[in-house]
């Protein structure tokens, strides 16, 4: 169990940012990704009163507030209209519906866990994040940054016609993934994202020969071993999942 000396429901992004500058403070969010243990926080900061639980669109982009739940994304007709079943496939194995009703996209992205289905999937699309202090930067750049005390407010997905597919392997239905793979296609660009290596997701892109790129992924990606799988098994799986996701992404383009 963790404990806190005070709980504050932030009334503005600026207040949340200021409170979060202390190393002993923590953003509460949905609370699902907070590490277990006996840690004592000085302040827990609740973002639920800031209107960050909406999925919205304009002519060019879809905006996900940091407090949007995984279940909202999974059942969103708006996301389904532009991306087919991509979000359903990305989210459906994450623990269970009760958990997905609580866990937020902001908490998932900020944590930058190596096993994150959400981070792997969104890196396959063309996404930016909006931070209270740094402003808007690409999700790829954010994923490589060290942890800091900034506050993530939105994830922006560009509606540019990129077609994507998602694949994962798990030892049991709702376990953390052994390996994840997302593939997306936009015109001549094919993007492969490999996650749960078990390190953070890596990105490969090609505009010429996807088969050669899949071979490169198998040969050059750094895989590791843990209780779920060996690095050799993950290396073998990477080729299988890349081929499956690539074919699904191509099929998605044909169906449009």
Query: Among the listed ranges 20-29, 156-165, 192-201, which one has the minimum average pLDDT value?
Result: 20-29
Average pLDDT over residues 138-145: 96
Query: What is the greatest pairwise CA distance in the chain?
Result: 57
pLDDT at 111: 86
Centre a 10 Å sphere on the Cβ of residue 71 and count the other Cβ atoms it contains: 17
Centre a 10 Å sphere on the Cβ of residue 166 and count the other Cβ atoms it contains: 28
Average pLDDT over residues 143-156: 95
Q: How far apart are CA 193 and CA 140, in angstroms?
A: 11
Query: Among the listed ranges 39-43, 211-215, 231-235, 238-242, which one has the minimum average pLDDT value?
Result: 39-43
In the predicted model, what is the mean pLDDT of the chain? 93
Domains of the chain plus CATH, in order, are 3-46 (no CATH), 55-158 (3.30.465.10), 163-254 (3.30.390.50)
pLDDT at 225 over 80: yes
Q: What is the pLDDT of residues 49-85, one digit of tens each?
A: 999 999 999 999 999 999 999 999 999 999 999 999 9
pLDDT category of residue 131 using cuts at 50, 70 and 90: very high
pLDDT at 31 over 80: no
pLDDT at 36 over 80: no
Average pLDDT over residues 174-203: 96
pLDDT at 219: 96
Q: What is the pTM of this model?
A: 0.94
pLDDT at 33: 56
Q: Long-range contacts made by residues 25-29, C-beta under 8 angstroms, separation at least 24?
A: 27/107, 27/110, 27/151, 29/66, 29/67, 29/104, 29/106, 29/107, 29/110
Q: How far apart are CA 105 and CA 112, in angstroms?
A: 11
Percent of the chain with pLDDT over 70: 94
Angle at the Cα of 147 from the Cα atoms of 141 and 151, rounded to 5 degrees: 85
pLDDT at 32: 58
Average pLDDT over residues 14-26: 93
């Amino acid at each position: 169990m963790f404990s806190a000396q005070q709980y504050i429901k932030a009334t503005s992004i600026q207040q949340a940012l200021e409170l979060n500058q202390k190393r002993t403070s923590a953003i509460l969010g949905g609370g699902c990704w907070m590490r277990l243990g006996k840690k004592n926080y000085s302040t827990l900061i609740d973002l639920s009163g800031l209107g960050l639980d909406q999925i919205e669109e304009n002519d060019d982009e879809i905006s996900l507030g940091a407090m949007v739940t995984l279940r909202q994304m999974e059942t969103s007709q708006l996301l389904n209209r532009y991306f087919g079943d991509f979000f359903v496939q990305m989210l459906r194995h994450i623990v269970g519906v009760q958990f997905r009703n609580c866990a937020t996209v902001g908490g998932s992205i900020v944590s930058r866990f190596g096993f994150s289905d959400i981070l792997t999937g969104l890196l396959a699309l063309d996404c930016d994040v909006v931070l209270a202090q740094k402003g808007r930067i690409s999700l790829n750049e954010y994923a490589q940054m060290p942890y800091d005390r900034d506050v993530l407010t939105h994830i922006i997905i560009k509606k540019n016609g990129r077609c994507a597919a998602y694949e994962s392997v798990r030892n049991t239905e709702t376990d953390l993934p052994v390996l994840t793979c997302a593939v997306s296609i936009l015109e001549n660009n094919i993007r492969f994202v490999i996650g749960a290596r078990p390190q953070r997701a890596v990105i490969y892109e090609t505009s010429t020969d996807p088969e050669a790129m899949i071979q490169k992924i198998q040969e050059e990606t750094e895989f590791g071993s843990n209780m779920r799988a060996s690095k050799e098994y993950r290396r073998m799986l990477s080729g299988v999942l890349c081929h499956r996701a690539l074919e699904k992404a191509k099929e998605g383009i044909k169906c449009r």
